[in-house]
Structure 1
């Protein structure tokens, strides 16, 4: 699988920002994911070739960061915070409600490809627990009614 000209140019630009071009590995993964929605094995290998690192090195970075998706995800990725702060403020109720409402478990995507549900160990939103992130948007002080209204914002 080849990367698009746009992807290659964006990666090459990021490489110019570092003394060691290999330091642009995470940025290369983010660029691929931005264009494709996730990072397949083939696109990971192609990005590694552009950056000048081995696929194994690129994979090590990809699997370290929990915001790099190594399998297809829905149009909207819901990450629900399971930190102690969110746990103490209602995480279990919100998680159960999300699973029931969406009809999926962690790591699954709704049949209409609308949502993927993932855990995340901390969103840094402790004063607003329970909290979740959908794509790049943060939502806190969740209740089941609030979750319904939030989900409706993501077609």
Structure 2
């Protein structure tokens, strides 16, 4: 089962390494990870997606709370949450295909952010499933290059279940 875990950590060198090492030592693969500034100065928020059963994830969360510089750990998957991802997709395209490609990306609320003589770059935001669906449609044109941010997520409303140190 896919889980989205939010960590609130001190913004210090080596924190990301310690977190990633713990995942590896426990046999977990990190499907995506995003790290950035939070609402509090000196603290960062990590959003990590991984796969495991509830018992495995609970054990992992207990281990994460023991790490130095980890302030809190929340399994966002336990309650409703909002998740978004950004993708930049370079697609092989001739000028004659622009109208056709616009028709494909418009329902996804994606946009063309760069046009070259034989390719274009599309920017898409949304949940992982939306990005995946767009990629399936664009594959027939030839995806030259792809980069994705990984999931960014936040609990809806005031629903937060955090384990704090």
What interval of TM-score do these two structures reach, taking the shorter chain for normalisation? under 0.3
TM-score, length-scaled by structure 1: 0.26
Greater helix proportion: 1
TM-score, length basis structure 2 = 0.25
- Ranked by relative contact order (alpha carbons within 8 Å, sequence separation 6 or more), the top structure is 2
Structure with bigger gyration radius:
2
* Higher percent of residues as strand: 2
